[in-house]
Structure 1
Amino acid sequence: MKGCACRAGLALLLAALGASVTGVAAGAVTPLKATLIVPGDDPRLERSRIERHFLGHTDGPANDGLQVALEESEFELQAVDAAVALTSQPADNLAAARTAAQAAEKAGAAVLLTDLPTDWTLAVADAVKIPVLNIGNPADSLREQDCRARLFHILPSERMRADALAQTLVSRKWSKLLLLVGQSAQDQLRSATVQASIKRYGLQVVATKPFKLSGDPRERDLANPLLLTAGSTYDAVWVVDSDGEFARSLPYRTVLPRPVVGDAGLVPVAWHAQFERFGAPQVSRRFAKAAGRPMTANDWAAWMAGKALVAAAIAAPKGPAAQWAQAMAKTPIDGSKGTSLTFRPWDGQLRQTMLLTDGQGVISQAPIEGLLHPTNVLDTLGADAPEKKCKVTR
């Protein structure tokens, strides 16, 4: 018994010494500090909205994906004596987001991450001199006329999603389209993007019709799928519905037995939990275990933002901030989509494969097989270098 007690005491002493050494080593590491800024009361995360689970919409906070990425990268970071320190800061309005960004930079943050409305995102980018990673905003304006030199984008742009779907329609020879568009300002903006993609890939719009969900009995016909899809011959119905409520009622209710695409039916997304290639099932399972829900496109974007931070920290373990920024912009990242992903130098958008899903599984991928490009086929999704509207130099 006495010998056992001695051995136990020795083990405790060695464990204490080991912990002390680890603490010293950890203390010597210069962490890459990052701050996530999110809305204090995010309408996208309203309970009833999440319960309805519209395809392409977020189902949970961005911090979930970030934490999974950082936790699974601990061994890689420790191997090179690197570290990432992440904090989260909610903001209730644009001014609060700007103030949070300035405070984070002053406190030593090397990178900011945002999941904010468009004007808030621009306010944050203009308030600091460090890189800003846009995780959850797909607005094309942030990549085009309102781009910023230090603003990078993980989530695919609306143009990338539209191009992915247009390519898929071309590959299936569904060339004649009926376009149904909501009446909100966002739907009108997205409709213009959709029509640019349709023109880019030589598809034809046979008719464009507005729809409207209304409690007014006099406007009931504006949300009637049978009336809206009558009177034209088409190969597919493309619906633009940012809210998602009308779109989900459209499949299997059209006059002609035709597929529905866009915001219901066949939907282009950055990620789906049923993607079964390139290590994707393992990523989705790790996330589901940690967050208690399936991984969505926004979760994947947050996870990729964490991977970008880790890649920068590993490339430049001791910093300084300028080296972290350079590494983050140029280091390829593995997104479990079959190829290394990099940021485009002309608009800061992360190049990536898109997935086409019906909500049950992944039907296809884009770019479609056989499509050619002079340098990188991923640049067939979204604004390519010759057509860029972003005028900044990175």
Structure 2
Amino acid sequence: MRLLAVLGGLAALLPAAAAGAGTVRIVHLEIDGDPRYEETRLARRALAQPLGRPHAGAEVAIREAQFVGKAVGVDFTLERVTGADAKPLIAAVERLHGQGVRYFLVDAPAAVVAELARAVRSRDLLLFNVSAADDALRQTQCQPNLLHTLPNHAMTADALVQYLVSRKWRSVLMLEGPLPDDHLIAEAFERSAKRFGVKIVEKKPFVLSNDPRQRDQGNVALLTAGSDHDVVFVADSDGEFARSVPYRTVRPRPVAGADGLVAVAWHWAWERNGAPQLNSRMEKQAGRRMADSDWAAWIAVKSVVESVVRTQNADFPAVVKYLKEGDVTIDGFKGNRLGFRPWDNQLRQPILLATHNAVFERAPIDGFLHPTNNMDTLGFDRRDSSCAL
């Protein structure tokens, strides 16, 4: 009922005669053999990890768009393109752009997203990053035609640290993995800790290995001994080590980061703002629950649909202006009207703080205030941004 009411409201704003009949093609780009979706990794069902390709979330959004599309005389379609690396994806974008396609969802690691965005920088098109959380894509590697619907590391770290402060858990033991992405997560947490007054009392490296020479670096009891702390934060992009940390610490302390308490864009246990209906549609479409990147793909498609409808299917520059200059407000089923930050093209949004089967809080936490929009206490505010669009 909620979906019909929302779509019906959109349709009422725009009679079919007012919108030029036509087709809006949306293309989902992805990497063949992307290691983030390797079967054994997906089978772990680790917190803060994808549960499958986010194309499924885009499919849910396209199905939702059909109702309003018919009402306004526009047919929204979704196509899927796979490439081995950035080069075939760039070629595909160039070819499809020549056919009139202007909207692309990008499901790829950060390096591929950055290369693709640089290559098509001069084209009149929009790329939506739906699965790369790297801060650099919103900072030094930002591009004017690259929008981000997945929250970045800075946003999720700020959400988590706000919660720790609200609980008066101000001393943290950090366990950091050896992977480059682990380092990015740790850097973001350190920035947030400094921003909100949380002390990292010690930082220790961990290694997940069968090598007996590295056994001590994978021993949770040894790693968590010797320091007094309120919380253990685990920077583990893979999630395999993190799931062994809760209930194995020397002191009885909560665990956060990659397991225990996680900060996520979406969680199947979120029960407010129409979320159960969205989760139900995802499970019906994909046969699994919705996770972060699925939601990011869903909201990216929804952003395009909303902008096309509200501008009465105007030409591409008018849609972009509406989408990027703060006029668009999108219902992400998280309780706030969402829109893109003009200084770095990041979708501002609440962050959910959850365990494996419950959502405990939604950030920004009460009491963390901003002069214009409290959601800008999460991630890079305008004054903090090094993006030069």
Alignment partner of 1:192 is 2:187: yes
From 312, 321, 324, the counterpart of 2:316: 321
From 118, 137, 144, the counterpart of 1:142: 137
Alignment partner of 1:339 is 2:331: no
Tell me the alpha carbon deviations over residues 333-359 of structure 1, each in whole angstroms, 9 at most, x when there is no partner: 100011110000000000000001111
8 Å Cα contact 1:98/1:120 also seen in 2: no
Tell me the alpha carbon deviations over residues 45-83 of structure 1, each in whole angstroms, 9 at most, x when there is no partner: 221111101111111122211111111222222222123
8 Å Cα contact 2:134/2:184 also seen in 1: no
Map of 1:126-275 to 2, 5 A cutoff?
Answer: 126-128=118-120, 129=123, 130-275=125-270
Tell me the alpha carbon deviations over residues 300-348 of structure 1, each in whole angstroms, 9 at most, x when there is no partner: 1111011112112212343322222223324111000111100000000
Alignment partner, residue 34 of structure 1: 26
8 Å Cα contact 1:154/1:349 also seen in 2: yes
**SS state of the match for residue 342, structure 1?**
strand
Tell me the alpha carbon deviations over residues 132-183 of structure 1, each in whole angstroms, 9 at most, x when there is no partner: 1111111100000100011100000000010000000000000010011011
**SS state of the match for residue 142, structure 2?**
coil
Q: Give the letter aligned to residue 372 of structure 1.
A: L
Q: Distance in 2 between matches of 1:123 and 1:285?
A: 36
Question: TM-score, with normalisation over the residues of structure 1?
Answer: 0.91
Q: Distance in 2 between matches of 1:123 and 1:217?
A: 40
Q: Give the letter aligned to residue 228 of structure 1.
A: L
Alignment partner of 1:364 is 2:361: yes
Q: CA deviation at 1:108?
A: 0.9
Q: Distance in 2 between matches of 1:135 and 1:260?
A: 27
Q: Distance in 1 between matches of 2:367 and 2:191?
A: 22
Q: Distance in 1 between matches of 2:311 and 2:117?
A: 23
Alignment partner, residue 350 of structure 2: 353
Q: Give the letter aligned to residue 376 of structure 1.
A: N
- Bigger shift: 279-288 or 97-106? 97-106
Unaligned 5+ runs, structure 1: 1-24
Unaligned 5+ runs, structure 2: 1-16
Alignment partner, residue 382 of structure 2: 385
Q: Distance in 1 between matches of 2:313 and 2:189?
A: 45
Q: Give the letter aligned to residue 298 of structure 2.
A: W
Q: Distance in 2 between matches of 1:40 and 1:107?
A: 23
Alignment partner, residue 300 of structure 2: 305
Alignment partner, residue 70 of structure 1: 62
Q: Distance in 1 between matches of 2:354 and 2:138?
A: 25
8 Å Cα contact 1:82/1:317 also seen in 2: no
Q: Distance in 1 between matches of 2:285 and 2:26?
A: 21
8 Å Cα contact 1:101/1:127 also seen in 2: no
Alignment partner of 1:91 is 2:83: yes
Q: Distance in 1 between matches of 2:28 and 2:150?
A: 15
8 Å Cα contact 2:150/2:296 also seen in 1: yes
Percent identity, please.
42
8 Å Cα contact 2:22/2:74 also seen in 1: yes
**SS state of the match for residue 209, structure 2?**
coil
Q: Distance in 1 between matches of 2:39 and 2:140?
A: 34
Q: Give the letter aligned to residue 98 of structure 1.
A: I
Q: Give the letter aligned to residue 303 of structure 1.
A: W
Q: CA deviation at 1:84?
A: 1.7
8 Å Cα contact 2:158/2:378 also seen in 1: yes
Q: Give the letter aligned to residue 196 of structure 2.
A: Y
**SS state of the match for residue 234, structure 1?**
coil
8 Å Cα contact 1:110/1:325 also seen in 2: no
8 Å Cα contact 2:48/2:259 also seen in 1: no
Q: CA deviation at 1:211?
A: 0.5
Q: Give the letter aligned to residue 385 of structure 2.
A: K
**SS state of the match for residue 311, structure 1?**
helix
Alignment partner of 1:107 is 2:104: no
Q: Distance in 1 between matches of 2:135 and 2:100?
A: 30
Alignment partner, residue 14 of structure 2: none
Q: Give the letter aligned to residue 83 of structure 2.
A: A
Alignment partner, residue 275 of structure 2: 280
- Bigger shift: 185-194 or 150-159? 185-194
8 Å Cα contact 1:84/1:313 also seen in 2: no
Q: CA deviation at 1:85?
A: 2.3
Question: TM-score, with normalisation over the residues of structure 2?
Answer: 0.92
Q: Distance in 2 between matches of 1:104 and 1:117?
A: 21
